[in-house]
Amino acid sequence: MKKYLVIGNPIKHSLSPKLHNYWFEKNNIDANYDRRQINKNEIQEVISEIKENKLNGVNITVPFKSDVIPFLDKLSEESQVTKSVNTIYMRNKKLVGHNTDIKGFELSLKEIQFNLKNKVIFILGAGGVVPSIIYSLQKLGVSKIIVSNRTKQKAENLKKNFSKISIVDWGELPEFDMIINATSLGLSKGDKIGLDLNNISKEKFFYDVIYNPKETNFLRTGKRLGCQVSNGKMMFIYQAFEAFKLWHNIKPAVTEDLKKFLDK
Ligand code: ATR
């Protein structure tokens, strides 16, 4: 039986095992996908298990997506630019790191049918997932990306790899077509972004990377204003879809049943 794993800290809320095991069953694959909470000094051990074929593939989640990089033999271009790896696999005896969050974000937008060409995107946050979102948005041909982060220096640091982005102070609200919450604000029930979004017109799009809870205060505001909204569930599903394709050479089905199953 093949073995797969997601590592992170914390990890108990990860839905990756549920999703991959569902697809194993649907595709008659003899495999198991588990989760493991680790500390940074245990990355090496997990890497050894892949090399020894005890593990056939690993997903990495917060906060280790860049910490794993020094242990790998090769990085995809996407992982190099974003300095982020969420999927590891073996190819020709080499350990390869790839970033499927980028494609996951892109496919989620395709499903929502929001055309980003020449749009202005306002991103809140500068944490782990933001380089992947920026990479994706640039590929999709947006006209401008504006980033705002409480710790401004972290937003400024993004400019090293993405020189065309603009930065505004935390609390400022520039003109935009789409606003993306990529902060962790919203994971707890009472969390508020602290921006006055009440004068936003209804043709704007609100996207929250958070998918649990399903509806953050941020998305609730968007909805109340009559804007189109989306949480991060499809991004989560499609990053897993891309990892599954890499590992098994199969495109797993993304169905309504699957979406409901993940909510249970
Ligand atoms: P990391 O920053 O370690 O990569 P993350 O979960 O990927 O962690 O990112 C958390 C994001 O939420 C960051 O952009 C963080 O802002 P800071 O860089 O200033 O820490 C943002 N964030 C978390 N709590 C916040 C709060 N109370 N107000 C504003 N932004 C917050």
Residue 9 CB less than 6 A away from ligand 1: no
Residue 193 CB less than 6 A away from ligand 1: no
Side-chain-side CA neighbours of 34 within 13 Å: the count stands at: 11
Q: Which of 90, 99, 29, 25 is nearest to 59 (CA)?
A: 99
Q: Does domain 2-99+234-263 have CATH number 3.40.50.10860?
A: yes
What is the Cα–Cα distance from 68 to 46, expressed in whole angstroms?
10
Residues 6+ apart with CB under 8 A from 70: none
Å from CA of 149 to ligand 1 middle: 8
Going by alpha carbons, the residue nearest to atom 8 of ligand 1 is 127
Residue 157 CB less than 6 A away from ligand 1: no
Is 65 annotated as catalytic?
Answer: yes
Strands 120-124 and 144-148: parallel
At 97, which helix (H) or strand (E)? strand 94-98
Adjacent-strand bridge partners of 181: 124, 208
What is the Cα–Cα distance from 159 to 93, expressed in whole angstroms?
35
Domains 2-99+234-263 and 114-231 share a fold: yes
Å from CA of 53 to ligand 1 middle: 36
In this structure, are residues 145 and 118 in contact, taking their beta carbons and an 8 Å threshold?
Answer: no
pLDDT tens for the chain, residues 1 to 264 = 999 999 999 999 899 999 999 999 999 999 999 999 999 999 999 999 999 999 999 999 999 999 999 999 999 999 999 999 999 999 999 999 999 999 999 999 998 888 899 999 999 999 999 999 999 999 999 999 999 999 999 999 999 999 999 999 999 999 999 999 999 999 998 899 999 999 999 999 999 999 989 999 999 999 999 999 999 999 999 999 999 999 999 999 999 999 999 998
What is the Cα–Cα distance from 15 to 194, expressed in whole angstroms?
29
Residue 152 CB less than 6 A away from ligand 1: no
| Residue in 54, 65, 103, 233 annotated catalytic | 65
CATH of domain 114-231: 3.40.50.720
In this structure, are residues 261 and 71 in contact, taking their beta carbons and an 8 Å threshold?
Answer: no
Å from CA of 49 to ligand 1 middle: 32
Cis amide prior to 70 (ω within 30 degrees): no
Q: DSSP H helical segments within the chain, as ranges? A: 16-26, 43-51, 77-82, 101-112, 130-139, 152-157, 217-224, 233-248, 256-263
What is the pTM assigned to this prediction? 0.95
With b for 16 or more beta-carbon neighbours within 10 A and e for fewer, the 48-58 pattern comes to eebeeeebbbb
Domain range list for the chain = 2-99+234-263, 114-231
Is residue 150 helix, strand or coil? Answer: coil
Å from CA of 150 to ligand 1 middle: 7
Instruction: Tell which atom from ligand 1 comes closest to the C-alpha of 124.
Output: 14
